[in-house]
Amino acid sequence: MDTIDELDLVTKGENSAIHQKCDVQHDVPAVFFSTGGYTGNLYHEFNDGIMPLYITSQHFNKKVVFVILEYHDWWISKYENILPHLTEYPIIDFRGDNRTHCFPEAVVGLKIHDELTIDASLMGRNKTIRDFRDMLDQAYLPRIRGLIQEEEHETQLDMNISALSPSAKTKIETTEEKRDAKKPKVVIIARNDSRAILNEASIVKMAEGIGFQVEVLRPQRTTELARIYRALNSSDVMIGVHGAAMTHFLFMRPDSAFIQIIPLGTDWAADTYYGLPARKLGLRYIGYKILPQESSLYNEYEKSDPVLTDPDSVNNRGWEFTKKIYLDRQNVRLNLRRFHKRLLRAYYYSMAKKNGRLHHQNQ
C-alpha cells in the first residue's frame, strides 16, 4: 500500500468560506481507484483490480464514472474489452484532468472478498464468480468473433491459392483437422523464466499419445488477452506451473479441468491463490505436487537439506527466502509416469463430459 497514491477527503460545510465551482457536473456516482501497486502482474491485475472493480461497481449497472489514480494507458488498452461492461462513461485520469468534477456520490477505494473470488452473500442480487465469468464471456466474445473472421478470410485466400495447384497435402490436413476437432483439447501455459517445465516436449508428446489435442501458450506482457481467452475458453484442460499465469483459469469454462503443477515450497500459495478459487468457479481441480527429485533444486542442495526435506521451515524464515529459492530459482522436470496418471484422469473426465456422463468431483 506504500506505493499507492493517497487521497485526502476534506469536508466542507454549507457555511464554508471556500465554494468550489464545478467545471463538470455529473449525475451518476464515481468510483475512485488506483492502477498502481503491483499492476503489471496478471494475478494482481485481476485480484486487486478487475475483480474488486466488478464487486464495487456492478450494482450501478454501468451508470458510474471511474476516476483512476496512477492512470496507465497500457492498462486501459489491455482491459478495453472489459471496461465497457462496467461503465458506459469516459474514464477520468485523476492527475491528468485538472477540471473540477462534481458527483452526487463517490466510492473511494475498491472492495475485495477473497483471493480471485466473489462472496455472493456480500453482493447485490447474489452475484457470484460465475456471473463475473459470464461478464468476461460477453466482453471477449465479440473480439473473438473478429479474430475468427480474420482467420477465415486468410484461410479462404490460402484455399484460393491452393486451388490453382491442388495437392494431396491439403486433403490430408483437412482430414487431420476434422479428427483433432473430436479430441479433448489441453492448453499448456508455458513460463518464460523460472518454474519452467524442462521436459515440456515430452509432456506434449505424452498428452498427444493419450488422445489430447495439444496447444502450448507462451503469454507475453503484450499478448492480447482476447487471444488467450479464446484458446482457454475452447479448451477442456489447462496445465501450468504455479505462478501468476495460473490466473488464466478464470478464462476456462466451468466444469473444465485445471492441473496445477506445484513446485517445492509453494503448496499453501498454490491452493490458496488458485486451487480453491478454481474449485469455487466450478473447475475440476487437480493438483500435482512435485517430488524433490522433480525439482531443479535437487541438484543444488544436499539431499538432507531443509530446502528439499522441509520447505515450510524455509518459508517460515520470511517471504524473501520463499521468493529467492522457490519462486525465482526453481524449474521442474516432471516424472512422466507420475504425471501420466493426472493426464489420464483429466482425459477420462473430459471425455465423460463430452459424452454427457459427467460426475463432478474435485481433488
The interaxial angle of helices 336-354 and 200-210, nearest 10 deg, is 40
CATH number at residue 330: 3.40.50
pLDDT at position 162 over 70 = no
Residues 183 and 287 in one domain: yes
Q: How confident is the model at residue 110 (pLDDT cuts 50, 70, 90)?
A: very high
Is 14 contained in some domain? no
- 193 and 279 co-located in one domain: yes
Same domain (yes/no): 50, 199: no
- Got the DSSP string for 238-282? EEEESSGGGGGGGGSPTT-EEEEEE-TT-HHHHIIIIIHHHHHHT
* Claim to verify: residue 295 and residue 354 sit in the same structural domain: yes
Is the pLDDT reported for residue 194 higher than 60?
A: yes
- For the chain, percent of residues with pLDDT exceeding 90: 78
> Residue 9 has which C-alpha cell?
477527503
For residue range 14-69, what is the model confidence (pLDDT) as tens digits? Answer: 666 566 789 999 999 999 999 998 888 999 999 999 999 999 999 999 999 999 99
In this prediction, residue 150 carries a pLDDT of 87
- Residue 75's SS3 state is helix
Cell of 152: 477465415
Q: Is residue 88 part of a domain?
A: yes
| Residue 18: predicted pLDDT | 64
* Any domain includes 16: no
Question: Can you tell me the distance from the alpha carbon of 95 to that of 72, in angstroms, rounded to the nearest whole number?
Answer: 11
Least confident range of 159-168, 257-266, 283-292: 159-168
Are 128 and 265 part of one and the same domain? no
C-alpha cell at 141: 466474445
The answer to whether position 349 is within a domain reads yes
Cα distances (angstroms) measured from residue 118 to each of 52, 73, 139: 9, 27, 18
List, in sequence order, the alpha helices (H) in 70-167.
Answer: 73-78, 129-164
Measured between alpha carbons, how far is residue 56 from residues 227, 346, 352 in Å? Answer: 27, 36, 38
Decide if pLDDT at 109 tops 80. Answer: yes
- Judge whether 4 lies within some domain: no
pLDDT confidence band for 12 (50 / 70 / 90): confident
168 has a pLDDT exceeding 60? no
d(CA 280, CA 273): 12
Contact in structure between 325 and 297 (CB atoms under 8 Å) = yes
What mean pLDDT, rounded, does the chain reach? 91
Residues 345 and 242 in one domain: yes
Side-chain-side CA neighbours of residue 242 (13 Å): 27
Range of 13-27, 165-179, 338-352 with top mean pLDDT: 338-352
Strand order from edge to edge, sheet including 257-262:
213-217, 185-189, 237-241, 257-262, 284-289
Count structural domains, the chain.
Answer: 2
* Mean pLDDT to the nearest integer, 11-15: 70
Residue 336's domain comprises: 179-362
Specify if 154 maps to a domain: no
Please tell me the predicted confidence (pLDDT) of residue 8.
Answer: 87
Grid coordinates standing for 294?
522433480
The three-class DSSP label of residue 347 is: helix
Query: pTM value?
Result: 0.89
Are 290 and 352 in a shared domain?
yes
Query: Domain boundary residue among 104, 133, 162?
Result: 133
Is residue 356 over pLDDT 90? Answer: no
- Domain final residue, candidates 115, 133, 151: 133
Q: Is 117 in the same domain as 29?
A: yes
Q: How far apart are CA 211 and CA 352, in angstroms?
A: 14
Domain boundary among 133, 168, 193: 133
Same domain, yes or no: 97 and 196: no
Amino acid at 215: E
220 and 329 inside one domain: yes
The C-alpha cell that represents 228 in the structure block: 488467450
The CA distance from 118 to 59, in Å, is 14
Domain assignment present for 294? yes
Residues 207 and 340 in one domain: yes
Domain-located, residue 277: yes
Mean pLDDT calculated for residue range 236-264: 97
Handedness of CA 76, 82, 86, 88 (dihedral sign): positive
Confidence (pLDDT) at 172:
47
Do 351 and 243 share a domain, yes or no? yes
